């Protein structure tokens, strides 16, 4: 969850050369255990809810030395002998112990590891994305420079140069950003928090997303920039109480972390009279940044996610590594100093993702037009994006197979008007268990997964599931639409 203490801990860790490892707060105990063991984390910084989730396994983490809890008054009472080797302290105690001490001088290289962020892969456990200080700073500067360019007088739209309106201000007020995306996401950490921090914007932090609370804060704090996954933007605009709040302070409203429906651009222009619609395309592996678009450019090309930011090279390749001409769909490849260094302790995945000359395969299919604007057309990876959360089809399938009545299973995404996609599963049951397959029992089989990964749609098949050459995720929806026996 987003707390001010989280931001302090992140800045403190990266300032002394330690590696910060943000972890998904929705993960189960089992998922958190994997992340902590894989990263070799020595100190855990968490709130009460996460601490209670971790208590049963603290003694099993070989590299763990200490736990710092925030906003948890009874943490010392909850200590027990099974965690004797792990020091548990509260945040305020740690702060008070450091009062009056001189901060040590620490030196580290620009290419040293700053952060490891876990992202869902197409198979198995999440992969740790290794990000360097150079990469993160480059990405932040690229976004801020792009914002400065967008605010200048000249913009190129459809080959025509237009003059952007500029209202002179004698004393411009401080810009402010609403941090409503979780800090364990690249969108929340990089695109919102760190970029706003670098640009000296006031940051209004939300503990968790609530469109009604967001509207209240926009009015109260005079928020000027709102960036969230498209789900958040749509929930904000669709609030029945939207007209009751003053949102005139907003100068930019945009989405990232998931595909943005073209209709959202027009809705933003209608709902927010002074706000410019914006969109970003990126991923954890690129420090959340590849392309950015907004304003008149976005309005003219609402299906495009813009042009690459400065220092980012982008090409479209065929499956043989040949560069494709404009308007030809292919694999989206990117290269630049803001790319990840590698996948943590996963050489095979690194080799499959990054070419020998530094080109990173995004796993997305797209094209560029004659002016260099990028259009996302499909995902090559078997991934579902639900409200900005990446979900591995294979990960969910493995859990579904824990159900004793499942003979075959295939997981895929189905469209949702707000979340973008929801998790669906098609099951070919064993003959002896046909009457035992239901959504409740399938969710129970997925208890080791975070709740947002659980299937919410179940399709029962009475014959072997159709399988395409590539995977179940991409091919099953076509067959399902033709079958009447859905439940």
| 80 has a pLDDT exceeding 80 | no
pLDDT at 77: 55
Question: Is the model's pLDDT at 145 over the cut of 50?
Answer: yes
- Kindly report which listed range (67-81, 110-124, 207-221, 438-452) carries the lowest average pLDDT score: 67-81
User: Where are the domain boundaries for CATH 3.40.50.12780 in the chain?
Assistant: 131-379
- 473 or 412: which leads in pLDDT: 412
CA-CA distance, 266 to 253, in Å (whole number)? 12
Instruction: Say if residue 192's pLDDT is above 80.
Output: yes
| Runs of H (alpha helix) within 252-376 | 262-271, 295-300, 347-353
Rounded Cα distance, 239 and 212, in Å: 7
- Cβ contact 181:250 at 8 Å: no
Given a contact cutoff of 8 angstroms between Cβ atoms, the answer to whether 250 and 276 are in contact is: no
Res 71: pLDDT: 87
Residue (of 112, 111, 73) closest to 93 by Cα position: 73
Compute the half-sphere exposure of residue 189: CA atoms within 13 Å on the CB side of its CA. 30
Task: Give the contacts of 81 (CB within 8 A, at least 6 positions apart).
Answer: none
| Architecture, CATH, for domain 383-480 | 2-Layer Sandwich (3.30)
For residue 104, give both structure tokens: 């040590």
Structure tokens at 406: 């499942």
- Taking the C-alpha atoms of residue 343 and residue 14, their distance in angstroms, rounded to an integer, is 19
Residue 223 has a pLDDT of 97
pLDDT at 153 over 80: no
Which residues is 391 bridged to in the sheet? 384
Instruction: Tell me the two tokens of residue 74.
Output: 């009874």
Mean pLDDT of the chain: 86
CATH 3.40.50.12780 fits domain 131-379: yes
Q: Average the pLDDT over 140-162 and give the result.
A: 61
pTM of the shown model: 0.81
User: Is the backbone of residue 263 left (phi > 0), alpha (psi -120 to 50) or beta?
Assistant: alpha
Region(s) of the chain under CATH 3.30.300.30: 383-480
**Res. 151: pLDDT tops 80:** no
Write down the pLDDT at residue 381. Answer: 66
Q: What is the mean pLDDT of residues 81-101?
A: 82
Tokens of 133: 């200080």
| Range of lowest pLDDT (96-100, 257-261, 356-360, 447-451) | 257-261
Quick one: which H or E segment has residue 148? helix 133-150
Lookup result for tokens 């943005």: 260
What percentage of the chain exceeds 70 in pLDDT?
86
How would you classify the pairing of strands 389-392 and 252-255? Answer: unpaired
d(CA 123, CA 120): 8
Cβ-contact 227, 256 below 8 angstroms: yes
**H-helix or E-strand spanning residue 403:** none
82: which residues sit within 8 A by CB, 6+ positions away? 58, 59
Number of DSSP helices (H) and strands (E) in the chain, helices first: 15, 24
């Amino acid at each position: 969850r987003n707390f001010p203490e989280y931001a302090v801990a992140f800045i403190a860790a990266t300032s002394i050369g330690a590696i910060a490892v943000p972890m998904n707060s929705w993960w189960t105990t089992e998922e958190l255990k994997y992340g902590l063991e894989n990263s070799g984390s020595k100190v855990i910084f968490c709130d009460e809810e996460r601490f209670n989730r971790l208590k049963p396994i603290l003694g099993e983490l070989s590299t763990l030395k200490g736990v710092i809890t925030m906003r948890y008054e009874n943490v010392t009472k909850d200590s027990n002998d099974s965690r004797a080797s792990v020091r548990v302290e509260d945040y305020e105690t740690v702060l008070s112990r450091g009062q009056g001490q001189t901060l040590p001088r620490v030196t580290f290289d620009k290419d040293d590891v700053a952060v490891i962020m876990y992202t869902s892969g197409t198979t198995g456990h999440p992969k740790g994305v290794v990000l360097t200080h150079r990469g993160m700073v480059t990405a932040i500067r690229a976004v801020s420079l792009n914002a400065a360019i967008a605010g200048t007088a000249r913009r190129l739209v459809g080959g025509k140069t237009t003059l952007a309106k500029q209202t002179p201000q004698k004393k411009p007020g401080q810009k402010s950003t609403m941090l409503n995306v979780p800090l364990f996401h690249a969108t929340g950490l990089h695109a919102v928090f760190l970029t706003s921090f670098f640009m000296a914007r006031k940051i209004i932090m939300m503990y968790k997303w609530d469109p009604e609370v967001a509207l209240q804060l926009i009015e109260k704090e005079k928020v000027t920039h709102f960036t969230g996954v498209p789900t958040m933007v749509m929930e904000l605009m669709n609030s029945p109480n939207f007209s009751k709040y003053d949102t005139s302070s907003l100068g930019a409203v945009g989405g990232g972390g998931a595909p943005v429906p073209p209709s959202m651009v027009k809705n933003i222009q209608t709902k927010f009279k002074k706000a410019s619609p914006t969109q970003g395309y990126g991923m954890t592996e690129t420090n959340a940044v590849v392309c950015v678009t907004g304003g008149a450019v976005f309005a003219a090309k609402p299906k495009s996610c813009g042009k690459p930011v400065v220092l980012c090279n982008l090409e479209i390749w065929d499956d043989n590594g040949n560069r494709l001409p404009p308007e030809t769909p292919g694999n989206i490849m990117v290269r630049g100093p803001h790319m990840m260094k590698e996948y943590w302790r996963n050489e095979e995945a690194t080799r499959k993702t990054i070419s020998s000359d530094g080109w990173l395969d995004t796993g997305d299919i797209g094209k560029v037009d004659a002016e260099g604007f990028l259009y996302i057309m499909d995902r090559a990876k078997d991934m579902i994006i639900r409200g900005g959360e990446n979900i591995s089809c294979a990960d969910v399938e493995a859990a579904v197979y824990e159900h004793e009545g499942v003979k075959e299973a295939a997981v895929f995404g189905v469209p949702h008007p707000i979340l973008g996609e929801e998790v669906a599963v098609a099951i070919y049951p064993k003959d002896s268990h046909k009457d035992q397959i239901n959504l409740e029992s399938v969710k129970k089989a997925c208890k080791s997964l975070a709740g947002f990964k659980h299937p919410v749609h179940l399709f029962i098949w009475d014959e072997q599931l159709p399988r395409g050459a590539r995977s179940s995720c991409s091919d099953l929806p076509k067959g399902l639409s033709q079958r009447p026996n859905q439940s």
